[in-house]
A and B are shown apart, each in its own frame.
Chain A
Amino acid sequence: MHPLRRLDRSVARVESAAAVFVLLAMVLVASAQALFFNIAERDVAWAQSLLDGLSWADTFLQKGTLWLALIGASLATQQDRHIAIDVLPKIAPPRARAVMRFIASLGASVTAFILARVFFQACLIADASVPFEYEVLTAEGPAHVCDVPPAELGATSRPDALCALRAAFGAAGVRVASGGGIAQLIVPLMFSVIGLRLAMRALISGRAALRGGEGPGGEDPDDSAPNDSGDAPHTKDADEAPSTP
C-alpha cells in the first residue's frame, strides 16, 4: 500500500474514533439532561444539582454537532460518498472519467483549502470577545479570567483546563477565549484534512488519466471503504447502477 494511503487510513481511524465518542457522548449527555430536568421539576435537590452540573451541555451538543458534521464530511471524502452531480462521469469512458475526476478533485481541493483559511479567520473573530462568564473586572478594566494573576482574582475560581489550552493556543499564535471557541477550530482543521484528501485523489486520478484511464477495477480500489448500508447520499450507488442500454 502506498504510504500516503496508509497515512490516510490512520487519520480516518482517529477520526472515526473521535466521531463515535462524540456521538455516544451526545446521546448520553442530552438524555441525562432530560432525565435530571424532569426529576428536578419535582423539587428533588440532587437532580437539580446534577442539572446545574450540566450547564455546559447545550454548548457541548452544539459544538459536538459541528464536530460530527466536519468529521463526517472528511470521512465521506475518504470513502468517496459525497453528494455530487455525477451523471457525466458515470456515462463517460474510463479515460475521460479519470480526467473528470482529476478536475473535480483538484477544484474541490483548492476550494477546501480556501474555506479552511476563511473559516479559521471567522473562528478567531467569533471567539475574539471575552465571553461574559470569563470576564473579570480588574483595575485596568474588564479582562479574561485567564489573563488575570491568581492573586487579583479573589473569590473567582480559575478554569485551569481552559487557561492551559488558551496558553497553548496562544503560544501558537491563535487567540481563543472559550471552550466553545476552541471546539470550533475543528472546522478549519477538518477542511484542511479534506483538502489534503482531495489533493491526493487528484494526484491519483491525474496519474490514471495520463496512463490512459482506470483499470478494470476502477483506478483506486482502496478508496472505497467497505460499506453495506447502501444509503441515500452515496454516490457509489449511482456509480454502480446499471446503465441504460
Chain B
Amino acid sequence: MTSLLFILLVLAVALCGAPLYAVFGALSLWLFWTLPDTPLSGAANDMFSEKFADSPLLVTIPLFTFAGVLLAASGAPDRLVRVSRALFGWAHGGLAIVCLVASTIFTTFTGGSGITIVAIGALLFPALIQEKYHERFSLGLVTTGGSLGVLFPPSVPVILYGVVGGVDIEGLFMAALLPGLLMIVVLAIYSSVVGARTQVARTPFSPREAAAVLWWAKWEAALPVVLIAGLMSGMLRIHEAAAFTALYVLVIELFVYKDISLRDVPRIAVDCVVLVGAILIILATAVGLTAYLIQANVPQTILESMQTFIGSKWTFLLVLNVFLLLVGMTMDIFSAIVVVVPLIVPIAQHFGVNPYHLGAIFLLNLEIGYLTPPFGLNLFISGFRFKRPLTQVYPAVLPFILLLLVTLGITTYVPQLSTWSSRLSGALDLDASTLPLPDADLRASTTDELTADEPTDSETLDDLSGETLDDLSGETLEDLLDAEGDAPEDSPNAPSADETLEDLLGQGRAGETLDDL
C-alpha cells in the first residue's frame, strides 16, 4: 500500500517535469528499501561495477560524442551535403536522397538525432522547398532524417545497447547493417517516386564536380574508412578508436579546414560533457532499478504470465514490437534502453530470439519512436527548428513512419537479415533453440541436438552429455571440433563452426578487438 502511494508520488513529481534520473533514482532507492536484507549501498555498488562505471564501452560515449559535437560545430555538415549532392543529385528525388544519406552519416557520427535535424535538416529544408518539393514531404523528410543512422555504430544508442544488453558492438553493427541499409533504400525509393511525380528539376551528374567536391572533403571522407580499417585490423580497440576519432576531427577542423578556432574548443567540450552527462546519469541511477528488477525476478514473472498466451517466437516478436513502439512513443531512447533492455533480453532468450536480432529490432523500434506522435523527440525538435506547429509535423511524418514500419516487419520476420554472419550466432548463449540458422546443428552445443543430427558421432558426444561448454577445456573442444571437421558427410560448414566455437572460447576477449572479423 505504501509502495503504491510512493510510486504514485514519484509519478506525480515526474509529470511535473522532474529530471528522469531523479525519478529512476527515487524509484530504485524505494524499491531497495522494501527488499529485506539488501543494504542500499550494496545495491549502489553496482554502479561502480562493470555494469556501469567499469564497462569498457562506456568510455567511448564521451569520446564519440566529442567528435560529433566538433563536427556539428564545424563546416562538416555543409561539406557532407555538397558531397552527397554531387553523388546523388542526378537521381529522381536527388536532393531528398541527399538528405537521407547525409542525415544517416551525420547521425551515425554524432549519435544524437537532434543535432542532425539542426545541422543537416536546417541546411536542406530550405533547399528542398526551393527545388519545389512539397513542404509536407520536406518537413517529414528532414524530421525522419534525424533518426536514421541510429542503427549504426558509433551512434550512442547502439553503444548503450551494447553496454546494457551485454552484447558486443561489432556483432550489433553487423546485425543492424542490413536492416539499416534496407530502411534507407526503402525511403530513397519513396523519395524518388515523390521526386518524379512532383517533377523536381535534376542536376546532371558531373564526374569532375564530384571529384572536386570529394577532394575538398577528403579529410572528413577518410574518417569512416580510417576508423573501420583501424578496427578491422585490430590496431585500435573500440575506445581507442573513439579517442582517435575525436583527436582526428579536432586536428582537421582546427588546422586543416580551420572552421573552429582553438578558443572555441572549451565551449564545444563543455557542450559535449553536458550532453553526455544528461544521458549517463540516467543510466547510472537506472542501474539500481535494473538490479532491483532482476533481484525481484520481474523478467521471470513477466515471462511466466506471457507463456500462458504466447506460444511461439513469432507471436512473441509481434507483441514485442507493439510494446516497443509504445515505449518509443513515450520514453526517450536512452531511458528506454536502460530500463527495457534488461527486462526483455532474458525473455527473448527464452523464446529463442538471437540477441543480435533482438538488438536490431529494438533499435529500429526506438528509431521509429523518435518520430511517433505525440511525444517523439524529433517532432519537437523539428517543430521548434523549422517553426512549424506540431499539428503540421504529425501528418508530415506519417508516410515515413509507415515505410519504417514495413522495414521493421521485414527485419523482425526475416531474421537472416540480422544473423547472416556466422559470428553473430557464435557469441550466443549455448542453447540450441537460440540458433535459428539452417546449419545450426553444427553450431549447436547441446548434446541432444548434435546426437539427433549426427548419430555417427554419438560416442564423442555422449562424453559431453551433462557438461556445459564452459566446463570443457579448450583442448577437448578442439579435439571435438577436429572430429566434426573430419566427418565428411553433412559438415560443409565445419570451418565456420570451428571459428564460431573458438569465438565462444574467446568470449572474454570479444568486444576488445575486431580481430575475429
List A residues at the B interface (Cβ < 8 Å). 16-17, 19-20, 23-24, 26-31, 33-34, 37-38, 61-66, 68-77, 79, 81-89, 100-101, 103-105, 107-108, 111-112, 114-115, 118-119, 121-126, 184, 187, 198, 227, 229-235, 237-238, 240-245
Cβ-defined contact, A61 with B59, below 8 A: yes
Knowing A242-B390, A244-B391, the reply to whether A104 touches B239 (Cβ < 8 A) is no
Cβ-defined contact, B113 with A79, below 8 A: no
Supply 16 further A-B pairs (C-beta < 8 A) apart from A104-B16, A232-B113, A241-B384: A16-B273, A17-B266, A28-B247, A30-B59, A30-B242, A31-B247, A34-B241, A62-B53, A62-B59, A65-B280, A76-B274, A81-B278, A82-B278, A104-B17, A233-B112, A233-B275
Cβ-defined contact, B114 with A82, below 8 A: no
Minimum distance in angstroms from B367 CB to a CB of chain A? 13
- Within 8 Å by CB of B281, from A24, A73, A124, lies A73
The stretch that binds A, out of B41-49, B214-222, B442-450, is: B41-49
Is residue B13 within 8 Å, beta carbon to beta carbon, of the partner chain? yes
Contacts of A69 in B (CB 8 A): 62, 276-277, 280-281, 284
Knowing A34-B244, A112-B22, A242-B384, the reply to whether A107 touches B277 (Cβ < 8 A) is no
Is residue B73 within 8 Å, beta carbon to beta carbon, of the partner chain? yes
In the bound assembly, the distance between CA atoms of A4 and B63 in angstroms comes to: 33
The stretch that binds A, out of B320-328, B375-383, B422-430, B467-475, is: B375-383
Minimum distance in angstroms from B334 CB to a CB of chain A? 7
Minimum distance in angstroms from A234 CB to a CB of chain B? 7
Contacts of B114 in A (CB 8 A): 230-234, 237
Contacts of A238 in B (CB 8 A): 380, 384
1/0 per residue, CB under 8 A from A, across B120-133: the answer is: 00000000000000
Contacts of A244 in B (CB 8 A): 389-391
Contacts of B281 in A (CB 8 A): 69-70, 72-73, 76
In the bound assembly, the distance between CA atoms of A72 and B284 in angstroms comes to: 13
In the bound assembly, the distance between CA atoms of A61 and B41 in angstroms comes to: 24
Is residue B14 within 8 Å, beta carbon to beta carbon, of the partner chain? yes
In the bound assembly, the distance between CA atoms of A52 and B148 in angstroms comes to: 42
Contacts of B53 in A (CB 8 A): 62-63, 65-66, 184
Contacts of B276 in A (CB 8 A): 68-69, 72
Cβ-defined contact, B247 with A118, below 8 A: no
Cβ-defined contact, B19 with A83, below 8 A: yes
- Give the dominant DSSP class at B's interface: helix
- Within 8 Å by CB of A88, from B17, B42, B265, B269, lies B17
* 239-253 of chain B: CB within 8 A of chain A: 239-244, 246-247, 250
Cβ-defined contact, A83 with B278, below 8 A: yes
* 1-52 of chain B: CB within 8 A of chain A: 10, 12-22, 25-26, 29, 40-42, 44-45, 47-48
Minimum distance in angstroms from B204 CB to a CB of chain A? 35
Is residue B500 within 8 Å, beta carbon to beta carbon, of the partner chain? no
Is residue B454 within 8 Å, beta carbon to beta carbon, of the partner chain? no
Is residue B235 within 8 Å, beta carbon to beta carbon, of the partner chain? yes
Cβ-defined contact, B41 with A84, below 8 A: no
Minimum distance in angstroms from B181 CB to a CB of chain A? 24
Cβ-defined contact, A82 with B113, below 8 A: no
Residue of B nearest to A106 (CB): B13
> 13 pairs across A/B with beta carbons < 8 Å?
A30-B59, A30-B243, A34-B241, A62-B53, A62-B54, A71-B277, A84-B18, A121-B44, A227-B271, A229-B73, A232-B114, A233-B278, A241-B383
Tell me the count of chain B residues lying within 8 A, CB to CB, of chain A. 83
Is residue B109 within 8 Å, beta carbon to beta carbon, of the partner chain? no
For A29, A76, A238, the residue with the greatest tally of chain B CB atoms inside 10 Å of its CB is A76
Cβ-defined contact, B278 with A31, below 8 A: no
Contacts of B282 in A (CB 8 A): 83
Contacts of A112 in B (CB 8 A): 22, 25
Is residue B72 within 8 Å, beta carbon to beta carbon, of the partner chain? yes
- Within 8 Å by CB of B20, from A65, A82, A237, lies A82
Contacts of A115 in B (CB 8 A): 25, 29, 44, 285
In the bound assembly, the distance between CA atoms of A127 and B129 in angstroms comes to: 60
In the bound assembly, the distance between CA atoms of A29 and B235 in angstroms comes to: 16
Cβ-defined contact, A231 with B112, below 8 A: yes
Contacts of B21 in A (CB 8 A): 73, 82-83
Residue of B nearest to A123 (CB): B48
Contacts of B277 in A (CB 8 A): 68-76
Cβ-defined contact, A184 with B26, below 8 A: no
Minimum distance in angstroms from B287 CB to a CB of chain A? 11
The 6 nearest A-B residue pairs measured at CB: A72-B277, A30-B243, A232-B114, A121-B41, A69-B280, A108-B22
Cβ-defined contact, A118 with B269, below 8 A: no
In the bound assembly, the distance between CA atoms of A87 and B35 in angstroms comes to: 33
For B18, B241, B270, B274, the residue with the greatest tally of chain A CB atoms inside 10 Å of its CB is B274
Is residue B385 within 8 Å, beta carbon to beta carbon, of the partner chain? yes
Cβ-defined contact, B48 with A76, below 8 A: no
Contacts of A118 in B (CB 8 A): 29, 40-41, 44
Contacts of B363 in A (CB 8 A): none
Is residue B362 within 8 Å, beta carbon to beta carbon, of the partner chain? no
Cβ-defined contact, A100 with B389, below 8 A: no
Cβ-defined contact, A242 with B383, below 8 A: yes
Cβ-defined contact, B280 with A126, below 8 A: no
1/0 per residue, CB under 8 A from A, across B339-383: the answer is: 000000000000000000000000000000000000101001101
In the bound assembly, the distance between CA atoms of A184 and B284 in angstroms comes to: 13
Cβ-defined contact, B271 with A104, below 8 A: no
Cβ-defined contact, A103 with B16, below 8 A: yes
- Within 8 Å by CB of A27, from B47, B66, B113, lies B66
Minimum distance in angstroms from B50 CB to a CB of chain A? 10
